[in-house]
Amino acid sequence: MGAVTNEITNFRGEVLPDGPLTPDSGDVEAFVAAVGERVRKARQRKGIARRVLSELSGVSQRYLAQLENGGGNISIALLFKVANALDHRVEWLVGEEDPWGSETAQVAELYRSATTEQRQRVMQILDPGRPAQLRRQRICLIGLRGAGKSTLGRLLGKELSIPFVELNRDIEEQSGMPVDEVMALYGLEGYRRLERQALERIVATSDSVVLAVAGGIVSEPETYGFLLRNFHTIWLKANPEEHMNRVRAQGDERPMAGNPKAMDELKSILTSREVLYAKAECIVNTSGKTLEESRHDLVEAIEKLGIL
């Protein structure tokens, strides 16, 4: 076995002698020049002028020019601002490894700019056990109103002997008011914030649960991404006519009240969300099915996913 060495190198990769580490002026100049070059490259890759970077970071153009030319003795605080404005970690600008010269750094940069779906696919390849571990035995039913989320969710929870939760009911319990009042008081933005908090609370406190969520949750990218990562998602799909008829059969005439174009609007919503709903792990079509048939199909889908 080879001898163990305690060699220490400087910024240029040269071996330093034993004793107190006092970098010479050449080391300092090389370091400052390297940081400046990285800032310049990052700015150019982002496709912005120095003036724009100055406005985004709050650092003067003169100071940025000095920095990029290797003559700036920039403070850590200002460099941090520059890094943030360039959407980079400050470590990339000061580390010994060239942030654009290594494959690892290039992959990291691509990952930072990737969509939620692309990131999930990468993680599934690099760490195939991680998604299953994150999702535990949490199941979420998604889809438009009238898809059967609440009815089938209760049956599924009973079948699997795990709790069933409606996210809107949880929001109402935590806020102390009906969802309609939450919307009227806080608006859609406030409701979405409570929706995300409720979702995070369930993930933090439940490893096994059947959850039914509002149909519009898929329109909030960050919240929906969190849902996909932490739940096994199943899209309960039905045609627009069945969605409408089921809601009306429950005694809710609001979808049709005073709105002759309600069906056209429902079809438009379903069409616009289909791509988002399709991100679920599987689809259970409830159109033309009895409740028992849909329950059977749902349980069968759970078995195929190997969740329990």
The answer to whether the beta carbons of residues 25 and 31 sit under 8 Å apart is no
The full length of the chain comes to 308
Question: Where are the alpha helices (H) located in 86-207, listed in sequence order?
Answer: 90-94, 103-112, 116-126, 129-135, 149-160, 167-175, 179-205
End-to-end CA distance of the chain: 49
Q: Is pTM, for the whole model, over 0.95?
A: no
Check pLDDT > 70 for residue 175.
Answer: yes
- State which residues form the domain around 158: 119-305
Check pLDDT > 70 for residue 219.
Answer: yes
CATH code where residue 285 lies: 3.40.50.300
Find the mean pLDDT for residues 180-196. Answer: 90
- Tell whether 82 is covered by a domain: yes
- Select from 113, 141, 165 the last residue of a domain: 113
User: Residues 198, 301: one domain?
Assistant: yes
pLDDT band at residue 1 under the 50/70/90 scheme: very low
User: Residues 165, 249: one domain?
Assistant: yes
Joined together, the tokens standing for residue 4 give 């163990």
pLDDT in tens, 131-152: 566 788 999 999 988 888 999 9
- Select from 89, 113, 137 the last residue of a domain: 113
- Tell whether 3 is covered by a domain: no
Joined together, the tokens standing for residue 117 give 């779906």
User: Residues 214, 78: one domain?
Assistant: no
Check pLDDT > 90 for residue 296.
Answer: yes
Query: Quick one: which H or E segment has residue 80?
Result: helix 76-85
Nearest to 210 by CA among 168, 169, 156: 156
Which residue has 């898929």 as its token pair?
Answer: 218
